[in-house]
Amino acid sequence: MELSHRPESTTPLPSYPYYHMETPASIGGGNSEITVPGGELIENTYPAVETPAGTKDTPPQTDASREVGVPEEQREVSEQDTPFPEIWTIDNSAASALHQELSSVAPKVHARVAARLEQVIAHATKTYKDYLPDETIQRIPGLADRTIIMDDERFTNFFGAWYGDNGQASPTANGLYSSNGDIIAVRDLTDYWQQQQKMTAQLVSTPGVRDLAHAKQIMENIGYAETVTHEAYHHLQDPSLPTFFQENGAYYYQQTTAESLNFGRLDSDERAKITDFYKNLIDKYGDDVHKLFFGTLNNTERRTEILAEYTPQKITEIFPKQVSQKVLADLEDSSTAN
């Protein structure tokens, strides 16, 4: 796969340039259940978005005020202050070119997914405004334009082509965030119900669900909502953090956002382990956990203390089907650096 519009980054890539959301089945089949959207959202999980006939796909851009961010001079500092890493963002023309080359869905589908992303970002910037640095807020506008929905083949091979190597996405990943270009890639989830056939069958008997076709549509909507929510928080995270903490936080914020916005979600025992551990960190360390995730905790001792909770044994317990030598090596590197 070759990309004719692949820009070259002038900034170093993080150690882990992309992160993905596994499907609930892949992080633990076991006891799984579905929470359907409430009220009128059962008819249409997304807000209504009109796309005029004959127009190109031009998803709305996030109108995020820079006043939401925490200015550098107002952050707590320490003698060992770690600067927030700079993330390179592709420009509008490059984003448009990637859409032309890679997008696999109709404009109205992308517009709906983009609208869901807008809701997530609006919720995040309101809920976590005291922890978001100015640098992150400045990158939010245009994120919807930098979110591309691709068919299976393009999604699988995209990041290998983007970085000029032969890497491929996990076959169980539905979304990927890259800090190189500040972009989100989403797998085409038109047939998402096939990944979740058991849950789809259960959904048919849920009050308010008309038939199998309706259940399939709800599953598709939930799949897109979960994916863009998860990757949106990777967009907002401090990219210098170790992968295990980024993933733990992204799953936690994904769940709490879905609950707050009544998106509907897929739950499993394994996912509960991930989110419960992060919640326990918040109970123990308070707002410092949020500050660490979003990049405004500049107290090195506190950062080290929180990350020290992630022993190899604990990581294996939290991510039973996601732990790899690479992640454990990341833990060792983080401990050495601190």
d(CA 18, CA 5): 19
Bridge-based pairing of strands 180-181 and 88-89 is parallel
**Can you give the pLDDT at residue 8?**
53
Residue among 315, 125, 105, 326 at smallest CA distance from 235: 125
Q: Which residues of the chain have pLDDT under 50?
A: 9-20, 23-30, 39-68, 75, 77-83, 323-324
d(CA 215, CA 43): 10
**Can you give the pLDDT at residue 20?**
47
**Can you give the pLDDT at residue 180?**
83
DSSP one-letter string for 167-202? ----TTEEEEEETEETEEEEE--TTGGGTTHHHHHH
E-strand spans in the chain?
A: 18-22, 32-35, 88-89, 147-150, 173-178, 180-181, 183-187, 265-268
**Where do the domains of the chain lie?**
18-39+58-337
How many whole angstroms from its chain centre is CA 132?
16
Other CB atoms within 10 A of residue 83 CB: 10
Which residues on adjacent β-strands are paired with residue 173? 22
**Can you give the pLDDT at residue 209?**
87
**Can you give the pLDDT at residue 55?**
37
Q: What is the 3-state secondary structure (H, E, C) of 33-65?
A: EEECCCHHHHCCCCCCCCCCCCCCCCCCCCCCC
